[in-house]
């Protein structure tokens, strides 16, 4: 310990520029690894989530980019005809979110409402930590309670069985909800078009939507979001072409419907390709940064050669020097891990400070599973980078005889 302290205070830190530059390079390497690993993992999780959509007979609606959208020209009759056509001819999964309401809760968060029908709920297999699954066969009546699921964050204020009164933004009337179950901690939904992005359900309410609910909802629910990502189940390409025509005739909007194969192709073209690019770029960046770190370490050796060899002359052994180098880089990597941990924990905590209901998460010391996994990858990459740097430094020192090094 005495020898290590001596090297830190009297040798390494005396060459401040070299020490700082190596710390910065190693931090760059670590942070790049961390961000890339987390993005890849998050995209992979998103892919796992939408995999349930990539099944035979499932078609996902997508507004044609060339279609002109004139909301004012769309009437209630038009949307009702489309929904009647849907209800009579198809099974479809319906999901919309993004409606925020104020609801008292101990964390003082704005609450996000997510509406989904039974097909969507079954397709996604949400896991619960308490209570029972959503019930879609309720009678829609303003005096009756609607069964709901809530996120973990709300369960502290509203346990299973409690009731909530809200002014529903899509029904545009006050309704009473009864908590039927609590979603598992950090349940999330990935963006279909950017799988890396997630919304967390810790402060969300899942409202079950049935045909009667849609009939009573305003056009925002029916059209703006409801039809945009609607998922048609157990159907054929021909039937979706007919549906597309009905939608065009009644809404004036052109929708495309993509099959499992097309979705996979789309995924391969965009996500898998971007994943590959991200992995390769990170790897190249890591190799470059590692090479720069080695170069920096070798320059340090050249400048501190006499210091090292004088120590070797008076009793330091190469094996002790190796331990000193590993300990030194171990400390640098540990500091980097602590810094990355702190930045990530603060970012997660910031979502709570901002009262951002869709990004607030629960985790061990503030970090969720994917953060810890990315930190583990950083730790493993540090072992490899550390070994490469230290062994190269030692090779350089051993190449120069002690008797020459002391007089350099």
Partner 1 sequence: MTNIIDLNIKEKVYKNKKTQLSILNNFNLKVNAGEKIAIVGESGVGKSSLLNIIGLLDIDYNGEYTLLGSQTNNLHANELAQWRNQKIGFVLQESALINSLTIEDNIKLPLLYAGSGKFFFKEEDFENVINAIAIKPILKKKPLECSGGERSRAVFARGVIMKPQIILSDEPTASLDVENRERIVNLLFKMNKEFNTTIITVTHDLEMANRHDRVIHLERSR
Q: What are phi and psi of 223, to 5 degrees?
A: -110, -60
Report the distance separating Cα 180 and Cα 18, nearest Å: 61
Residue 230 φ/ψ, nearest 5 degrees: -65, 140
- Residue 316 is a binding residue for partner 1 (CB under 8 A): yes
DSSP 19-68: HHHHHHHHHHHHHHHHHHHHHHHHHHHHHHHHGGGSSTT-EEEEE-TTS-
Residue placing its CB nearer to partner 1 in the complex, 161 or 315? 315
- Return the residue of 295, 318, 334, 349 that touches partner 1, per CB under 8 A: 318
Minimum distance from CB of 383 to partner 1 (Å)? 24
Provide the mask over 229-258, with x wherever binding to partner 1 is found by CB under 8 A and - wherever it is not.
------------------------------
Per rule CB under 8 A, is residue 184 in the interface with partner 1?
no
Residues in contact with 287: Cβ distance below 8 Å, sequence separation at least 6, in sequence order: none
Which one among 2, 106, 173, 238 touches partner 1, defined by CB under 8 A?
Answer: 2
CB of 405 vs partner 1, minimal distance in Å: 10
How far is it, in rounded angstroms, from Cα 46 to Cα 55?
A: 16
Interface residues for partner 1 in 290-309 (CB under 8 A)? 306-307
Q: Where are the alpha helices (DSSP H) in 51-117?
A: 76-89
Count, in order, helices (H) and strands (E) of the chain: 13, 13
Phi, psi of 138 (to 5 degrees): -90, 155
By CB under 8 A, which span of 1-9, 40-48, 132-140, 215-223 interacts with partner 1? 1-9
Closer residue to partner 1 (CB): 12 or 94: 12
Closer by beta carbon to partner 1, 254 or else 320: 320
- Using the CB atoms, write b or e for 164-192: b if 16+ within 10 Å: bebebebbeeebebbbbbbbebbbbbbeb
Interaction between residue 313 and partner 1 (CB under 8 A): yes
Q: What are phi and psi of 14, to 5 degrees?
A: -75, -20
| Of residues 50 and 394, the one with the C-beta less far from partner 1 | 394
- Least separation in angstroms between residue 396's CB and partner 1 is 17
- Residue of the chain from 315, 353, 364, 399 that contacts partner 1 (CB under 8 A): 315
CA dihedral 267, 273, 274, 279 (to 10 degrees): 130
Binders in 8-47 for partner 1, by CB under 8 A: 10-11, 14
Task: Report how far residue 391's alpha carbon sits from residue 22's, in angstroms, rounded to the nearest whole number.
Answer: 16
Interface region with partner 1, contact rule CB under 8 A, candidates 4-12, 115-123, 144-152, 383-391: 4-12
Q: Is 324 an interacting residue with respect to partner 1 (CB under 8 A)?
A: no
Judged by CB under 8 A, which of 314, 353, 364, 399 binds partner 1? 314
Residue 6 sits in the site that holds partner 1 (CB under 8 A): yes
Using CB under 8 A as the criterion, which residues of the chain lie in contact with partner 1 when the complex forms? 2-3, 6, 10-11, 14, 306-307, 310-320, 401-403, 406-407
């Amino acid at each position: 310990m005495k020898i290590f302290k001596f090297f830190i205070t009297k040798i390494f830190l005396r060459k401040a520029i070299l020490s700082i530059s190596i710390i910065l390079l190693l931090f760059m390497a670590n942070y790049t690894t961390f961000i890339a690993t987390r993005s890849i993992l998050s995209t992979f999780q998103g892919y796992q989530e939408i995999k349930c959509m990539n099944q035979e007979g499932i078609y996902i609606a997508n507004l044609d980019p060339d279609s002109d959208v004139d909301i004012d020209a769309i009437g209630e009759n038009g949307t009702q005809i489309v929904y009647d056509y849907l209800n009579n001819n198809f099974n479809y999964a319906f999901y919309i979110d993004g409606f925020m309401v104020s609801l008292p809760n101990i964390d003082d968060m704005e609450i996000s409402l997510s509406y989904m029908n039974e097909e969507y709920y079954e397709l996604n297999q949400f896991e619960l930590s308490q209570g029972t699954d959503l019930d879609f066969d309720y009678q829609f009546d303003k005096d009756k309670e609607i069964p709901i699921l809530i996120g973990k964050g709300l369960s502290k204020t509203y346990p299973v069985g409690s009731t909530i009164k809200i002014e529903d933004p899509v029904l545009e009337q006050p309704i009473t909800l009864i908590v039927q179950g609590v979603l598992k901690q950090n349940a999330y939904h990935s963006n279909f078009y950017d799988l890396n992005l997630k919304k967390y359900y810790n402060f969300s309410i899942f409202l079950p939507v049935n045909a009667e609910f849609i009939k009573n909802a305003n056009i925002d629910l029916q059209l703006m979001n409801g039809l945009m990502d609607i998922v048609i189940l157990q159907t054929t390409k021909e039937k979706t072409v007919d549906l597309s025509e009905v939608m065009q005739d009644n809404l004036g909007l052109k929708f495309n419907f993509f099959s499992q194969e097309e979705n996979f192709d789309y995924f391969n073209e965009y996500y898998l390709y971007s994943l590959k690019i991200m992995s390769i770029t990170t790897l190249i960046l890591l190799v470059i940064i590692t090479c720069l770190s080695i170069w920096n370490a070798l320059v340090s050796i050249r400048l501190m050669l006499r210091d090292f060899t004088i120590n070797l002359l008076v009793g330091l052994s190469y094996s002790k020097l190796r331990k000193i180098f590993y300990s030194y880089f171990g400390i640098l990597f540990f500091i980097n891990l602590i810094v990355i941990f702190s930045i990530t924990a603060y970012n997660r905590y910031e979502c709570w400070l901002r009262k951002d209901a869709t990004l607030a998460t629960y985790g061990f010391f503030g970090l969720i599973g994917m953060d810890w996994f990315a930190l583990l990858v950083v730790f493993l990459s540090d072992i490899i980078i550390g070994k490469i740097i230290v062994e190269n430094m030692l090779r350089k020192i051993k190449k120069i005889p002690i008797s020459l090094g002391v007089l350099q």
